[in-house]
């Protein structure tokens, strides 16, 4: 696991680096709080921090408040300090620190506390996964995909960048459930999501919008990019098939409606309504189509 250690004392920092490296951690060292923030920028995978209380410019307490202000990220902070006394423990925990360790530290005690921190991080990751993903398909659930859309909508409005959304609706899905059973229908949904993931870009967002409807959020995408990817998805789905135990194949297709986010959109609902209208047009045109509003 990656860990950031921040201490302005070179000897302490070196001792920490050597100890943590020997315990299997990937160590990122800093001597100032601003360096810690630079190390964390764009790296949500760094979740474990060991911060010295007394650092120039930005103290460990101040730094902890900044780190913990982003509640969407999992970050476990251990405060390391020569200060002792209940009032300092209370101050550290009030700032958002998860644990408190006094100097000079005992390596064995630090090792155990870090191990406990790793266990807590793993549990929080599991809880976050359950809270953010659709239980059946493993893709983002409706709450989370709409949250991602809101975030990208705000960013595109601020930076005047392109943002396209697509609604993907499986064709005749009720017939699959009626003819093959709901278990087969569930397997079709999972296979569908697997195929979509193979076609989209790493930085696109894909989630279940409801029933057999899914939402694809495509940041920094132009219309030709959207059309290319949507057609690639449509083609991949039309060529996929669920093979049942008796050898029968369940074929299925998807209708896709896409739209640009407009600067004059008052809410994301304006855009999703246009995408819904485009899906309806694709259905009316015979299904297994891509329509851009």
The residues annotated with a catalytic role in the active site are: 212
Count the helices and strands in the chain (H runs, E runs): 10, 12
And the tokens for 161? 């960048």
And the tokens for 267? 């809410």
Cβ count near 111 (within 10 Å): 15
Closest C-alpha among 223, 191, 189, 218 to residue 202: 218
φ, ψ of residue 90 in degrees (nearest 5):
-60, -45
Q: CA angle at residue 84 from 66 to 105, to 5 degrees?
A: 85
Q: How far is CA 121 from CA 18, 54, 167, 251, in A?
A: 23, 25, 34, 42
Give rounded-to-5 percent helix, strand, coil for the chain: 50, 20, 30
Residues whose CB is less than 8 angstroms from the CB of residue 110 and which lie 6 or more positions away in sequence, other chains included: 19, 101
> Cβ(45)–Cβ(114) under 8 Å?
no
- The span from the CA of 145 to the CA of 42, in Å, is 20
**The CA-based dihedral angle spanning residues 39, 42, 48, 51, taken in that order and rounded to the nearest 10 degrees:** 40
Q: CA angle at residue 59 from 57 to 64, to 5 degrees?
A: 130
């Amino acid at each position: 696991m990656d860990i950031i250690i921040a201490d302005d004392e070179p000897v302490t920092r070196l001792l920490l680096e050597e100890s943590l490296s020997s315990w299997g951690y990937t160590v990122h060292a800093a001597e100032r709080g601003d360096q810690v923030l630079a190390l964390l920028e764009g790296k949500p995978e760094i979740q474990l921090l060991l911060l010295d209380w007394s650092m120039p410019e930005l103290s460990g307490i101040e730094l902890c408040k900044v780190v913990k202000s982003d509640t969407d990220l999992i970050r476990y902070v251990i405060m390391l300090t020569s200060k002792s006394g209940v009032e300092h423990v209370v101050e550290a925990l009030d700032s958002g620190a998860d644990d408190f360790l006094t100097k000079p530290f005992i390596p064995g005690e630090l090792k155990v506390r870090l191990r406990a921190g790793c266990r807590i991080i793993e549990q929080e990751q599991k809880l976050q996964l359950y809270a953010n993903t659709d239980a059946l398909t493993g893709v983002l659930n409706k709450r989370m995909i709409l949250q991602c859309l809101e975030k990208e909508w705000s960013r595109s409005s601020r930076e005047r960048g392109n943002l396209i959304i697509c609604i993907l609706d499986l064709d005749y899905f009720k017939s699959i459930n009626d003819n093959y059973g709901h278990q087969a229908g569930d397997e079709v949904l999972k296979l569908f999501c697997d195929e979509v993931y193979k076609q989209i870009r790493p930085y696109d967002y894909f989630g279940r919008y409801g029933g057999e409807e899914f939402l694809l959020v495509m940041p920094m995408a132009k219309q030709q990019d959207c059309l290319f990817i949507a057609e690639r998805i449509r083609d991949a789905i039309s060529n996929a098939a669920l093979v049942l135990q008796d050898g029968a194949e369940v074929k299925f297709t998807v209708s896709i409606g896409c739209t640009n986010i407009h600067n004059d959109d008052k809410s994301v609902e304006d855009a999703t309504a246009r995408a819904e209208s485009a899906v309806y047009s694709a259905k009316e045109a015979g299904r297994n189509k891509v329509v851009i509003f």
